[in-house]
Amino acid sequence: MKLTIVNAVMEKREEGYFGSVQFTLEQHASLYEISLHSKRGIDWDYSLNFAKESGSEEELLAADSLIETDDDLFNLILDAAEEALAKE
């Protein structure tokens, strides 16, 4: 499934790494935002939400399932956030 990154930010704080990435997925109507957190930049926790107005809950759950099961897709999102950190 095609992923398009719209915006990505990441910062390193004393407590760890915090970032967010806004993106769209092919055949999904909504803009999503994933919030990322890692204490050491190795193991990542995330939360997926609609970036603007609410959309289809079914599509949100499908997007979350894709991110959970497709390492390549998650890595594309994480790479965008890490590149944003490197640019600072």
Q: Residues 45-75: pLDDT tens digits?
A: 999 999 999 999 999 999 999 999 999 999 9
Domain range for residue 49? 3-87
Structural domains of the chain, count:
1
What band does 9 get if pLDDT is binned at 50, 70 and 90? very high
Residues whose CB falls within 8 Å of the CB of residue 76, separated by 6 or more in sequence, listed in order: 3, 5
Q: Any residues with CB less than 8 A from the CB of 85 and at least 6 apart, and which?
A: 10, 11, 12, 17, 19
Radius of gyration of the chain (CA): 13
Rounded CA separation 15/20 (Å): 16
Q: Confirm whether pTM is higher than 0.75.
A: yes
